[in-house]
Amino acid sequence: MRIENGLHAQPGPWLAPVLIGGLLGTAWQLQQAQLWAASVYRDLLLLALVSWLVSLLIRRSAGARLLMVMLAVALLGYGSTGWRAARQAQSALAPALEGRDLLVQGVVAGMSQRNEAGQRFRFELESAWLDDQWVKLPQRRRRKLSFSAASVSAACSGKPRRCAHSWARLMPSLSTAT
């Protein structure tokens, strides 16, 4: 099936603007020094949709249509990359907590796994304290923490942890890699 005035008539002319727009939009966002709010990126995604719809309405100038498609894809690349980065940044550990010893309490959420480094298990955090003050960890960290190696072996004192077992221990140096 061949559509004369649509996107499928000649795929060759559309391929370059789509690829260039996607590449430029993503690269442009990666050069951004500081992230904006996730809502700004959501609005850019809506603007990308509007730009694409406008490109469908342009009938007379193929060049203008190609530029509008390239703009739409660039906005899509910029908005989607920024939105994902902003969402990831919301779950980052606060810089004040980096490298600090936290007292954590929660429930072992999965079967423990033994390896040469010690014991490893998923931990659903119920609460955390730093210097006798309750601290709030990002929501993503509250759902799944994984502890392994020496910190768990020392804290467990050789006792294996079981699923649904409540546990409270001092966990040294919680970091973003945890």
Q: Cα angle at 61 between 58 and 62, to 5 degrees?
A: 90
What tokens does 104 get?
């954590």
Per DSSP, the three-state class of 170 is strand
What tokens does 153 get?
């072996």
pLDDT tens digits for range 35-92: 999 999 999 999 999 999 999 999 889 899 999 999 999 999 999 999 999 988 887 7
The whole-chain average pLDDT of the chain stands at 77
pLDDT tens digits for range 95-107: 888 778 788 787 7
Q: Which H/E stretch holds residue 122?
A: strand 118-130
| pTM for the full predicted model | 0.62
What tokens does 40 get?
């700004």
What tokens does 132 get?
């006798």
